[in-house]
Amino acid sequence: MELEAPDFDLSRTLDSGQVFHWEKCGDGFAGAIGPRGVFVEQRGKRLRFSGVTAETITSYFALDHQLAKICRSFPDDPALTAARDFCQGLRIIRQPRWECLATFITSSMKQVAHIRQISRALRTRYGQRHRVKECAAPSFPTPSRVAKLTEPDLRACALGYRAKNLLATARLVASGDADLEQWSTLSEETLRARLCELPGVGAKVANCVMLFAYERLRAFPIDVWIERVLRQKYFPNQQKVTATQLRAFCETYFGEHGGYAQQYLFHHARKGGATPGTAAP
DNA sequence: CTCCAGGGATGAT
DNA sequence: ATCATCCATGGA
């Protein structure tokens, strides 16, 4: 099937560190959306896909987001202007709640490449097998599937100390004590508080899950990359800027689509060529 | 080899 | 409330 997808860059979106399981397959990508195996490839302004309906593709890749309007809502500063130029067509996608939460629990102190490896191990061992265009596209294991595993099972997927947290959170979700779907109706503050009660979830992971799975486009995750960007671009050569000050700045400065601004700054910093640690010329 | 990563939990100031 | 330390693993 095909679909119009103007103002969208598929490979850039899938390589921006918000989702970790899509893999190159021929001229496109193989992956899963929830329980279904999916192939998707971009041809100019059109998206060619199989495995799910056009409605699912539109929702997952957030093709209904008014990207131009979102970008216009950004504050006008050099760092953000450069990031926006670099990130054209990058969208914040709508991920299934559980797999987004689980994946970001495994992300702590890990590089993107390794998070991808963990996601692949969990999907290959414990997910449902799918095959699209001769490529594997396993789904992420359900909460109840993970809940029945043991800590050594998860450590065998290279989770290290994160294994205990993922297991405990899976059991809370599987039992219904943590109802991720029902939480979608909560206010921003309450949702963040609920997420932070889960083992292995702090402010950073909670904000990632809010942004990538609950469509809270204001949520502003601060990781080591973003912290570096903020200090370098928005607080140049000022020492003693506390984490609390940075957080307060982000809440007010970047506005209602702060999460988009954050993602653009993150992707630009990570892929834009500037070496981390070295000052800009 | 060393360095560091889309951090969180815990205990000490 | 803020700061320091430890946690486990492998890519770069």
Looking at the predicted structure, is the pLDDT value of residue A274 above 80?
no
Q: Is the pTM of this model over 0.85?
A: yes
Chain C bases having any atom below 7 Å from a protein CB: 1-3, 7-12
What pLDDT, in 10s, does the model give residues A77-98?
A: 999 999 999 999 999 999 999 9
Q: Which residues, 6+ apart, have CB-to-CB distance to A131 below 8 Å?
A: A37, A137
Q: Is the distance between the Cβ of A147 and the closest atom of strand C smaller than 7 Å? A: no
Query: Hey, is A177 helix, strand or coil?
Result: coil
Q: Which residues, 6+ apart, have CB-to-CB distance to A248 below 8 Å?
A: none
What is the model's pLDDT at position A194? 98
Q: With 0-12 CB in 10 A as exposed, 13-18 as middle and 19+ as buried, what is A177?
A: exposed
Q: With 0-12 CB in 10 A as exposed, 13-18 as middle and 19+ as buried, what is A231?
A: middle
- Can you list the domains of chain A with their CATH numbers? 2-60 (3.30.310.40), 67-85+220-271 (1.10.1670), 97-213 (1.10.340.30)
Q: Is the distance between the Cβ of A203 and the closest atom of strand B smaller than 7 Å? A: yes
- Give which of A18, A180, A169 is closest to A95, Cα–Cα: A18
A146-152 contacts at long range (C-beta below 8 A, 24 or more positions apart)? A146/A102, A146/A122, A146/A170, A146/A174, A147/A171, A147/A173, A147/A174, A147/A175
CA distance A81 to A71: 9
Question: Which region among A112-126, A174-188, A208-222, A226-240 has the lowest average model confidence (pLDDT)?
Answer: A226-240
Q: Is the distance between the Cβ of A164 and the closest atom of strand B smaller than 7 Å? A: no
Q: Do residues A51 and A39 make contact, with C-beta atoms less than 8 angstroms apart?
A: yes
What pLDDT, in 10s, does the model give residues A183-219?
A: 999 999 999 999 999 999 999 999 999 999 999 999 9
The amino acid occupying position A261 is A
User: How many CB atoms neighbour CB A210 within 10 A?
Assistant: 23
| CA-to-C1' span, A151 to B1 (A) | 31
What pLDDT, in 10s, does the model give residues A12-66?
A: 999 999 999 999 999 999 999 999 999 999 999 999 999 999 999 999 999 999 9
What is the model's pLDDT at position A20? 98
| CA-to-C1' span, A224 to B6 (A) | 7
Q: Is the distance between the Cβ of A95 and the closest atom of strand B smaller than 7 Å? A: no
Query: Hey, is A158 helix, strand or coil?
Result: coil
What is the model's pLDDT at position A237? 83
